[in-house]
Amino acid sequence: MSKWDKLLVRICTLSRDLRFDELRKVLESYGYKMNAPRSGSSHYTFRKSGCQPITIPKHEPIKKVYVELVRQVVESEARNDEDAE
Q: What is the pLDDT along the chain (85 residues), one digit of tens a residue?
A: 666 566 666 666 656 677 888 888 888 888 999 998 878 788 999 999 988 899 999 888 888 888 888 888 877 877 776 666 6
User: How far is residue 68's CA from residue 83's CA, in Å, rounded to a whole number?
Assistant: 22
User: How far is residue 72's CA from residue 28's CA, in Å, rounded to a whole number?
Assistant: 15
User: How far is residue 85's CA from residue 80's CA, in Å, rounded to a whole number?
Assistant: 9
Q: Please tell me the pTM assigned to this model.
A: 0.74
Tell me what pLDDT residue 32 has.
92
